[in-house]
Structure 1
Amino acid sequence: MNRTMHQQLSQGRLVALGDVHGSPFVVQQLLDFLADEVNWQQVDDIAVEFGNQRYQALADRYILQGEALPLTDVRAIWRNTLYFMAWQYAVYEQLVVQLHEWNLQRSHKVRLVLTEPELDWQTLDLAAWQQHVAEREAGYQRLIEQQVIAKKHRAILLFGTFHLMKQPVQLSGRSADKFTSLVASLCRSYPDLIYVIWPRMAGDQVVAIADAAPYLLPLAGSSLGQIPLRQLTGRVAAQDDTAMAAIADAYLYLADVSRDAPPSAAAVSDATWQQELQRRAKILGGRSQQQITQWLQRYAH
């Protein structure tokens, strides 16, 4: 994986690395890649789903400029997002802290680009939250174009995997319209700019790779590349025959696909944050409220 990512970045392509929420393993692969300073030199930006653009100046001060800001302030970056529950895991805080430390130690600086459009949880209501959710793919695209592509930067895009499909796909339980992801939209304007890595996920039993994990398998010309995506995930409608090679360039085989990453110690111990979670649960209701309530029952003290 490291060699392929290094090569793609050195050729000026953006590498889109599919994240699996609840699993630490993809982000750990990214950390392992960046730990090698030779690879680090090929990266200008890491554009992430887990950051509210409202806090870009804060992220720049902490990560890019190396200010010794308290983590209680820095956590606003991922806590005040649309899908804040997805970022409760320790690995995201680890990534932010590690970028801060590496930028202090190394001459080449890597910026964390926050791509979620600005929102303020102190004034947000359900209707506004739903509107932001409906518009988020376009918002991601706009910020990546402004902050990365227009500047001709080399970048890694770390997003939930379904934001990175290179072709529109019919999702299960959705309207008849195909879902056009962030990367599918970008590919229309910037053909061949983005190299997509699709990770193995829980429930994916199609692939058995003899090589030791982690292993990166190019999809073009491979038997896996011809398999419909719907055979690897129930999130794709049964009638959609889009092949793996059409939606990604490589398949990241991981030995462990469990989604039981530990929450950050800060999230578990922060009573003020847990009170805020209760407040947001009442605003969102439904499935989000259930998720928050279950989390609080499991971890809150």
Structure 2
Amino acid sequence: MGRFIKAVLVTLSVFAALGCDYLPRSASWPLSDEQTQQWLQQTPNFYQGVKAAYAQHQVVAIGDYHWNNRVMAEVNGLLQHPEFLHQVKQLVVEFGNARHQQAMDDYLNGKTDDELVLDAARRDALFFTAWMPEVYADFFKIVRAYNLSVNEEKRVKVWLAESPFYWERITGHDQWQQAANHKTDGFVNAAQQAMASGDKVFMVFGAFHLLNIEPQPKTGALPMATLLKHAYPNKIFTVWPITEPQINEALSSLAVPSLLPTAVPAASELKLVDILPKARIRLGRLDRKEDSVQKLIDGLLYVGPSERLNQFPESIMQDQAWLTEMEARLNIVGGRPLSAFKEIVSNSALAN
């Protein structure tokens, strides 16, 4: 029993040293009803909010919440707005390996109707399991449909932001880790190429890539948006998705979807860790746990009640060769990606 008590005390001391970042927490909305209502009264719908952002910025970047199809469904809905793709001609996305850029260009411009590129671009990504839901393939299909409906000079370009990567050349974890450590370089490069066109640019990346960390810390890998905002001041507007049930309840009077600008007094009193407690770990590495949403991001995307699915589409579960290949790759990666894959496969099998 003495050893057990000692082990418990050691565990608690570790939690204390980590600032309790690993203890369970629930999201909260600390603002008063008056503060909330004042903020909501200044909140436009998603399209109008994006349009207002483009009036002052070249780039609008939306944060994706992997395995929550609701967020990407609203992004896809935005693409289908009658005016959106008439105004925004450069799209940059995380969910695609640039080794397939030419094939994707051909597909999006109608030079081929081979949809295999939609699978190849996503399946060859570093974190390919995140991009298996069909909502990401739908993104490309929507762009293709638009491009084939307009003259060539009005067509949209989609940049696959992940640097060319070849799974068939990976034999050990260190090779994969090296590519993962430098993935932000590819993201920044793709964004810069899109911005160099002078066109309006729309980007979709995992939400943590879009944090603005100022002043920049001496240690820790900086998010893509931090690097871009430093290089291109006042040109980029970043948006964080709201998915926690407690926050959805506080904002339930809003239309779905809506974009809450953070350039309001109330946003200075709301911390990102309030609306997403698990962000404490990543923000802690950058010494930004106490930062408000106003400091870290430019807008909040409200999509209404949503949940993570944690299930592969039926088409994936029926593709035994691909399931085997995924597991082989993830045995190289190891850690959380491997355990998450096994959990998703198990959930999917039970659902089907």
Fold conserved between structures, TM > 0.5 = yes
Q: Indicate the residue corresponding to 1:193 in structure 2.
A: 235
Amino acid at match of 1:177: T
Identity of aligned residues (%): 25
Deviations 1:42-87 (A, max 9, x none): 1112101111111110110111x21333323431101101110101
Q: Does 1:290 align with 2:336?
A: no
* Aligned mates of 1:203, 1:280 — CA distance in 2: 34
Measure how far apart 1:270 and its partner are.
1.7
The gaps in structure 2 that reach 5 residues or longer are 1-45
The structure whose Rg is larger is 2
Q: Does 1:227 align with 2:277?
A: no
Task: Please identify which structure carries the higher helix content.
Answer: 2
Deviations 1:155-174 (A, max 9, x none): 1110011100122599xxxx
CA contact (8 A) 2:92 2:203 kept: yes
* Aligned mates of 2:239, 2:246 — CA distance in 1: 15
Q: 1:205 to 1:229 in 2, by over 3 A?
A: same
User: What TM-score do the two structures reach when normalised by structure 2?
Assistant: 0.77
**Residue-pair matches, total:** 295
User: What TM-score do the two structures reach when normalised by structure 1?
Assistant: 0.89
188-197 or 233-242, which deviates more: 233-242
Deviations 1:8-27 (A, max 9, x none): 33555200101110111221
Q: Does 1:205 align with 2:205?
A: no
Amino acid at match of 1:186: L
Measure how far apart 1:248 and its partner are.
1.3
Match of 1:299, SS state, is: helix
CA contact (8 A) 2:79 2:142 kept: no
From 204, 214, 218, the counterpart of 2:257: 214
Q: 1:14 to 1:73 in 2, by over 3 A?
A: closer
Q: 1:261 to 1:294 in 2, by over 3 A?
A: closer
From 250, 258, 263, the counterpart of 2:312: 263
Q: 1:32 to 1:225 in 2, by over 3 A?
A: farther
Q: Indicate the residue corresponding to 2:330 in structure 1.
A: 281
CA contact (8 A) 1:141 1:186 kept: yes
Measure how far apart 1:200 and its partner are.
0.3
Q: Does 1:127 align with 2:174?
A: yes
Deviations 1:82-110 (A, max 9, x none): 11010111211111122212211233211
Q: Indicate the residue corresponding to 1:143 in structure 2.
A: 190
The gaps in structure 1 that reach 5 residues or longer are none
* Aligned mates of 2:54, 2:316 — CA distance in 1: 34
